[in-house]
Structure formats: C-alpha cells, structure tokens
C-alpha cells in the first residue's frame, strides 16, 4: 500500500466565517506495510487526515495518492470509482459496535462483501473466514448482533470489514472502552491481521498501545505534522505539550533521571527497568 500526501490542505467551511483550517501543508509518505499510529489532541486534524485517505473528504488543495488512486480537488470521482477507494481501505469507526444492523451476525458480516463485490459467488465463505479470524465461532452465526456484549459486537464489526479483504485498515480509537484483556486481545488480533499483509493506520489516544504495537508514530498538532518516527524514541521526549499522555514507564524514567539516576534509552517496560536498576544500581 502506497500512501502519499502532497502539499495537502483541508479547510472546513472554506468560504464562511466559520472556516477552520484543519490541515496545513501535509507532506507524508507511507509506503511500508507498517502499523502507523496517528496521534494528537482532539481537533488536531488527525481524523481529517484519515478521512482524506478513505475519500470521505476531498483536499481543499494538494493531492492524496493511494496506490494508483488520486484524491484531489480537480479529480472527479463518483459512484463506482469511490467504491474502488473504499474496498481497498477498511475503515473501522469509533463505536463501531453501534454500526451493526442486520438481524444475524453472519448477514451483518456478509453485507460489505455483497455491496463491494456483488458478483462474488461466496460472500458467506468470506464472512465465515473473517469471523473465524476474529475468534467468533459458528455458534455466533445466527445470533442477533444486538444480543452480544460490547466486545463481541466490536469483533463482528471488525469481521465485517475484514470480510471484503481490504489492503489497508484504518482504525479510529479501536481500544476505547475495552478492558485490559479486551484491549490486548483486539490489538493482538490487529497485529495478526497486519502480519497477514494488511497495512494499518491507527488513530488513538492510548500511548501504551502505540508503544506496544506501532512501528511508526505521527504526531499531528495544529493541522501540521509535528513528529514522525519510532514510538520508543518519540515517547521518551516531552509529548505532553501535544496533550498526549507519557506512558507510565517513561514517567518513572523521567522521575528517576530527575533524581540523578542514569537510565539507558533501551528501557521500555518494568522488567527492563528492574534489570537496569540491578546492574547499574
């Protein structure tokens, strides 16, 4: 998956007194099959960025290239062509558990395949495959999505996206509202999906998730890219000015350093910290 932003600007309500410049001159290239985290405070422009990739929005100026598809102001894309964008890119919204609507789990998961690939002869097989991947067995097929727990509903929504086999998955706050186990389960699932060849863009406030799962992180603030790099490098710096939470482990490391302790930059969890303290006590 090749994603390229070329001098992209996006302004909401451009010709009105309520105009908001959400993105200002974004240049970005994502070519590796990474898990990329996009982070930043509410209103920083991070959702706008992902919505440009999926062509939910069109840039005010500049171009977004997704493989051979172009999203730019003068490029008219309608009907079928928009489908080309959307079926390559799975978008999982926040509160995805609320987007279920069919009367059985299986039908719900089949819906995306059927609308993107109306000629596909076996949407059911793809749906079942996707449900297996998210860990829902056949006992779920004929249940109503509305009788499931929040976590199960979320899995159904994920399966619904996976079933049409997108090459890129955009996740908007996928772990919000999940418990620790659910969070780990779902992120491990995304990691597995990623390993099967799907690139992932992750929009999140959870820096622990970024540290544990993302290969790359991009901090957006004030409509511009502020930082881009490996999470373990960036998160050791001061990220609170972007209204991001410093992961617990780095909070401790900062405090230890402030008290005169020397801690190597490889320490990124409790076991490695303990090891460091024991050996260089």
Interacting residues with another protein (CB under 8 A): 41-43, 94-95, 98, 147, 149-152, 173, 176-182, 205, 243-245, 248-249, 251-252, 255-256, 258-261, 270-271, 273-274, 277-278, 281
Residue 27 or 98: the one with the smaller Cβ distance to another protein is: 98
Question: In angstroms, what is the minimal distance from the CB of 191 to another protein?
Answer: 19
Question: In angstroms, what is the minimal distance from the CB of 174 to another protein?
Answer: 13
Partners of 183 in the β-ladder: none
Question: In angstroms, what is the minimal distance from the CB of 112 to another protein?
Answer: 23
Residue 184 or 232: the one with the smaller Cβ distance to another protein is: 184
Question: In angstroms, what is the minimal distance from the CB of 179 to another protein?
Answer: 5
Cβ(52)–Cβ(65) below 8 Å: no
d(CA 24, CA 7): 8
d(CA 29, CA 73): 19
Q: What is the DSSP string of the chain?
A: --EEEEEEEEEETTTSTT-EEEEEEEEEEE-SS-EEEEE--TTSSHHHHHHHHTTSS--SEEEEEETTEEE-TT----HHHHHHHHHHEEEE-TTGGGG--SSSHHHHHHHHHHHH-TT-S-HHHHHHHHHHHHT--GGGTTS-GGGS-HHHHHHHHHHHHHTT--SEEEEESTTTT--HHHHHHHHHHHHHHHHTT-EEEEE-S-HHHHHHH-SEEEEEETTEEEEEE-HHHHTTS--GGGT-PPPHHHHHHHHHHHTT----TT--SHHHHHHHHHH--
Exposed, middle or buried, 121 (CB in 10 Å: 0-12/13-18/19+)?
exposed
Residue 126 or 203: the one with the smaller Cβ distance to another protein is: 203
Question: In angstroms, what is the minimal distance from the CB of 277 to another protein?
Answer: 5
Residue 75 or 277: the one with the smaller Cβ distance to another protein is: 277
Residue 166 or 247: the one with the smaller Cβ distance to another protein is: 247
Question: In angstroms, what is the minimal distance from the CB of 276 to another protein?
Answer: 11
Question: In angstroms, what is the minimal distance from the CB of 173 to another protein?
Answer: 8
- Count of C-beta atoms within a 10 Å radius of residue 32: 12
Question: In angstroms, what is the minimal distance from the CB of 27 to another protein?
Answer: 26
Residue 89 or 244: the one with the smaller Cβ distance to another protein is: 244
Residue 7 or 261: the one with the smaller Cβ distance to another protein is: 261
Residue 19 or 261: the one with the smaller Cβ distance to another protein is: 261
């Amino acid at each position: 998956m090749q994603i390229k932003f070329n001098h992209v600007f996006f302004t909401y309500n451009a010709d009105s007194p309520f105009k908001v410049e959400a993105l200002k001159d974004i240049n970005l290239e994502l070519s590796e099959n990474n898990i990329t985290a996009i982070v930043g405070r509410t209103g920083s422009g991070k959702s706008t960025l992902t919505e440009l990739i999926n062509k939910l929005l069109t840039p005010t100026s500049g171009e977004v290239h997704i493989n051979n598809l172009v999203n730019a102001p003068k490029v008219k894309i309608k009907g079928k062509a928009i489908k080309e964008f959307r079926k390559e890119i799975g978008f999982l919204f926040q509160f995805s558990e609320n987007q279920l609507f069919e009367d059985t789990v299986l039908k719900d998961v089949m819906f995306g395949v059927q609308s993107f690939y109306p000629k596909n002869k076996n949407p059911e097989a793809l749906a079942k495959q996707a449900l297996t991947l998210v860990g829902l067995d056949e006992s779920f097929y004929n249940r109503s999505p509305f009788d499931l727990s929040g976590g199960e509903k979320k899995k159904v929504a994920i399966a619904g996206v996976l079933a049409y086999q997108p090459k890129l998955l955009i996740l908007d706050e996928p772990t919000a509202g999940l418990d620790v186990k659910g969070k780990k389960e779902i992120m491990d699932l995304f990691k597995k999906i990623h390993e099967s060849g799907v690139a992932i863009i992750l929009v999140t406030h959870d820096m622990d998730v970024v540290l544990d799962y993302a290969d790359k992180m991009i901090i957006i603030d004030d409509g511009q890219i502020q930082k881009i790099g490996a999470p373990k490098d960036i998160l050791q710096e001061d990220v609170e000015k972007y209204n991001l939470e410093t992961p617990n482990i780095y909070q401790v490391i900062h405090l230890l350093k402030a008290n005169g302790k020397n801690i190597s930059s490889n320490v990124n969890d409790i076991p490695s910290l303990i090891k460091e303290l024991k050996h260089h006590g």
